[in-house]
A = this chain, B = another copy of it.
Amino acid sequence: MDVSPNAIPDVVVRRLPIYARSLAYLAEEGVRSVSSQELGERIGVTAAQIRKDLSYFGEFGKQGIGYNVEYLLGHIRRILGLNEAWPVVLVGAGHLGRAIARYEGFRSRGIDIVGVFDADPTKIGMELGKLRVQPNTDLPAMIRQQHIRLAIVAVPAHLAQEVVDGLVENGVQGILNYAPVVVQVPEGVWVRHIDPVALLHSMTYYLAREEERAHTG
């Protein structure tokens, strides 16, 4: 079966890592098989959704038996390209960048931050776990020599586009952007955004409405 990657809706692709994460916890707990119902409850989606999502990639579950946790986890990891670790560069060594560099949850899930870069001379040389902050000018050489295709951007909003342009120019094709601004990239480059304030605002919407109802209802 030769499924074009474009045939899988992006919303499904975004859920696969959550399935993998949950299956990894189950495997750690020694659980050998799980029904789509149980998995769905853990993840907060319906059993039907899980079955539909996974059906894009083949036949996994057996009626009445459920999914073999290790097998399904292994398969999803391969689908996600996680059979080997991905080297990632991190740009920005401010408070957030430093916290990201020190976060231990990356390596265990196949993400290997191999370099931290900043333009600020006062940050160069700073030790962050096993890494040492390098000047931005060293970034192109590292990306090219180590064939790095993923980057994390944790710079102020007004610098983000320039940083992203430089990354893309040197071959980076996937960017996790923490700067609170939408960056423009050419076709074939992927960007995911993390904006905690926007997520909080999408909740204040509901809370404000509730308050209104409480006062008028």
* A residues adjacent to B (C-beta < 8 A): 5, 10, 13-14, 16-18, 20-22, 25, 42-44, 79-82, 86, 88, 95-96, 98-100, 102-103, 105-106, 109-111, 149-150, 152, 157, 173-174, 176, 180-182, 184, 190, 192, 194-211
Contact = CB atoms under 8 A, between A and B. Distances in A.
Contacts of A79: 205
A182 to B, nearest CB: 5
How many subunits of this chain does the assembly comprise?
2
B25 A181 contact: yes
B176 A196 contact: yes
Contacts of A96: 99, 103
Given A86-B204, A95-B99, A194-B199, 18 more contacts: A13-B202, A13-B205, A13-B206, A14-B199, A16-B202, A17-B195, A18-B182, A18-B195, A22-B182, A25-B157, A43-B182, A81-B205, A81-B211, A105-B197, A109-B201, A150-B207, A176-B203, A190-B203
17 contacts: A5-B206, A16-B205, A20-B201, A80-B204, A81-B204, A95-B98, A95-B99, A95-B102, A96-B103, A100-B196, A105-B180, A105-B197, A110-B204, A152-B196, A174-B206, A192-B200, A192-B203
Contacts of A13: 202, 205-206
Given A99-B95, A205-B13, A111 B195 contact: no
B181 A206 contact: no
A138 to B, nearest CB: 22
Interface centre among A88, A196, A207, A209 (most CB of B within 10 A): A196
B44 A174 contact: no
Given A198-B18, A209-B5, A82 B192 contact: no
Contacts of A182: 18, 22, 42-44
